[in-house]
Amino acid sequence: MPNDLPVAQGAPPAGGLKPLSERILPPEFYDSFITKRSKERIEDPIRSRLQLEDRPGTISMLAGKPNPETYPMTSLQFTLRDPVTNQEVPIALTEIELERSLQYSGSKGIPEFLEWLVGLQEFSHGRKPGEGWDLSFGAGSSDLIHKAILALLEEGDSAIIESPVYAGVFPVLHEAKCDLIELSGDENGIDTVALRKTLENWPKNKRKPKLLYTIPFGCNPTGVTSTIERRLEVLGLAREHNFLIFEDDPYYYLYFGSAPRPPSYFALEVDQPEVGRVVRLDSLSKVLSAGMRIGFLSAPQVISDAVLLHTMGSNLQPPTFTQVISWKLLSTWGYAAYQQHVYRVADFYRTKRDEFARLMDKHLTGLAEWTIPEAGMFFWFKLLLDGGDEGDSEALIRKEALEGGILALPGTVFLPSGGKTAYVRASFSLLPETMVDEGLRRLRVVLLKARGEA
Ligand SMILES: Cc1ncc(COP(=O)(O)O)c(C=O)c1O
């Protein structure tokens, strides 16, 4: 079973820290972080009045809400596998819940679901409401990443990005037109020595990076989970050099390492001299459903508000339908059962990882090098091609491997500025053992051919 979810919390602040309430960064602190475009966003005059409908005794003629009597869906039931007993439990939405789920709702998320998620942050990260952060729900974490990046980065700004890194974040960074400083790492996480050097040698006439984007658990694509020591160093550097930590953490619940689970940045920052430098992105895509699009942002109030304003002016709100279903599901379970569920999910992927590792040994020993991931769903391996580290997997994976019947991603797609790399990313989440066996055998054939050894 993976390490306990709730992290060690509540230890008295080390080194005579002030009480937490005095360490929370004030709203003005973010003035120089929020982009011009974000500051200029205006409120949607209809959406911003929606909560007035809840005033007792109010007769609302406000919004263009459709009449649910016209909707064809009349009931909704589903079954839920109980994580503790493994029994299939029938769940039905009440008439009111169904009606609610089919109607517009607030841009931030429906209150009962937000409340459940705030409770989850306390359960998993020891962060309590009222500590200077707020939570917003989005259509997957991608939705919130996009909006938070545009709230914080614009032309002329700099950002540090772990590299190689999740390629899905490149389009919005490109849209933000910011300068990216790529930071490599090792099996312990970000290279903090290089980070310090970069920051200490930063040109005097240029603003230091506003943020550092990192995927601290089971990084996509490298599979690396950052150690607690590295995380603490990054937090220290953030304070010293005044940047925010953008913690994109969809693999948090997919940790199956043998070492104790490191706390998140969000958890660790409460014991720092300043609190409010972490923008945390959570996703339930990997543990509940990717199709329901459940992501949430836990960030300083000012940043959360900026994201909310973006939502109001773009997609109005995340879907009420999936919020009601997710809330029903999660509140039926409660936190303890949710914890059991994510343990099971992590165990499942640990088994998949072990299968994949065994088959990597069988087929690719001597042809590739890799480290074993301890979270997430990816193997990141270096092909031993001519040219060693300078080798390039791109053409081989794009053409020869595909022709040989195997599809994976060449490492170059995860480099923010492109370039050659001998690395390849393979996902181990979905395939049954027999197909992994066959896929890696095919890759072996392709590699042997490329090396002239077939
Ligand atoms: C690092 C990282 N961030 C964000 C996402 C997007 O997740 P979501 O489904 O919540 O939008 C992914 C999906 O694979 C990911 O790997």
Residue 10, classed as helix, strand or coil, is: coil
Same domain, 130 and 175: yes
Q: How many CB atoms lie within 10 A of CB 32?
A: 9
Q: Hey, which of 143, 248, 284, 414 would you mutate to test ligand 1's pocket, going by the most ligand atoms within 8 Å of its Cβ?
A: 248
Same domain, 134 and 232: yes
Ligand 1 neighbourhood includes 164 CB (under 6 angstroms): no
The answer as to whether 6 is a domain residue is: no
The answer as to whether 83 is a domain residue is: no
Closest CA to 378 of 220, 189, 162, 187: 220
Distance CA(417)–CA(164), nearest Å, equals: 10
Question: Residue 396 C-alpha to ligand 1 middle, in angstroms?
Answer: 27
Ligand 1 atom nearest residue 219's Cα: 1
Total number of domains constituting the chain: 2
Residue 187 has pLDDT above 70, yes or no: yes
One-letter-per-residue 3-state SS of 23-82: HECCHHHHHHCCCHHHHCCCCCCCHHHHHHHHCCCCCCCCCCCCCHHHCCCCCCEEEEEC
CB 295 within 8 A of CB 284: yes
Find the CATH number of the domain harbouring 377. 3.90.1150.10
5 versus 21: the higher-pLDDT residue is 21
Ligand 1 atom nearest residue 215's Cα: 1
What CA–CA distances, in Å, run from 140 to 151, 252, 268, 281, 297?
Answer: 17, 15, 24, 10, 10
**How many angstroms separate the most distant Cα atoms in the chain?**
81
Choose the final residue of a domain: 277, 307, 333: 333
pLDDT band, very low/low/confident/very high, at 9 (cuts 50, 70, 90): very low
Same domain, 241 and 308: yes
CB 123 within 8 A of CB 144: no
Choose the final residue of a domain: 308, 333, 358: 333
Question: Residue 39 C-alpha to ligand 1 middle, in angstroms?
Answer: 27
Write out the DSSP string of 208-276: PPSEEEE--SS-TTT-----HHHHHHHHHHHHHHT-EEEEE-TTGGGB--SSPPPPPHHHHGGGSSSB-
CB 356 within 8 A of CB 348: no
**Residue 356 domain boundaries:** 348-450
Ligand 1 neighbourhood includes 215 CB (under 6 angstroms): yes
The answer as to whether 90 is a domain residue is: no
Same domain, 224 and 361: no
Question: Residue 228 C-alpha to ligand 1 middle, in angstroms?
Answer: 22
The answer as to whether 197 is a domain residue is: yes
User: What is the pLDDT of the chain when averaged over all its residues?
Assistant: 94
Same domain, 281 and 314: yes
For residue range 236-290, list pLDDT tens digits in order: 999 999 999 999 999 999 999 989 999 999 999 999 999 999 999 999 999 999 9
Q: Hey, which of 136, 144, 166 would you mutate to test ligand 1's pocket, going by the most ligand atoms within 8 Å of its Cβ?
A: 166
Question: Residue 280 C-alpha to ligand 1 middle, in angstroms?
Answer: 13
Choose the final residue of a domain: 281, 304, 333: 333
For residue range 85-134, list pLDDT tens digits in order: 999 999 999 999 999 999 999 999 999 999 999 999 999 999 999 898 99
Same domain, 322 and 386: no
| pLDDT attached to residue 247 | 98
Ligand 1 neighbourhood includes 394 CB (under 6 angstroms): no
Same domain, 352 and 328: no
Same domain, 406 and 294: no
Q: Angle at the Cα of 240 (from 270 to 10), degrees rounded to 5?
A: 15
| pLDDT attached to residue 453 | 87
Same domain, 353 and 315: no
Residue 389 has pLDDT above 70, yes or no: no
Distance CA(249)–CA(226), nearest Å, equals: 11
Ligand 1 atom nearest residue 283's Cα: 10
Ligand 1 neighbourhood includes 285 CB (under 6 angstroms): yes
Close Cβ partners of 135 (under 8 Å, ≥ 6 residues apart): 109, 114, 117, 118, 121, 296, 297, 298, 304
pTM here?
A: 0.94
For residue range 190-217, list pLDDT tens digits in order: 999 999 999 999 999 999 999 999 999 9
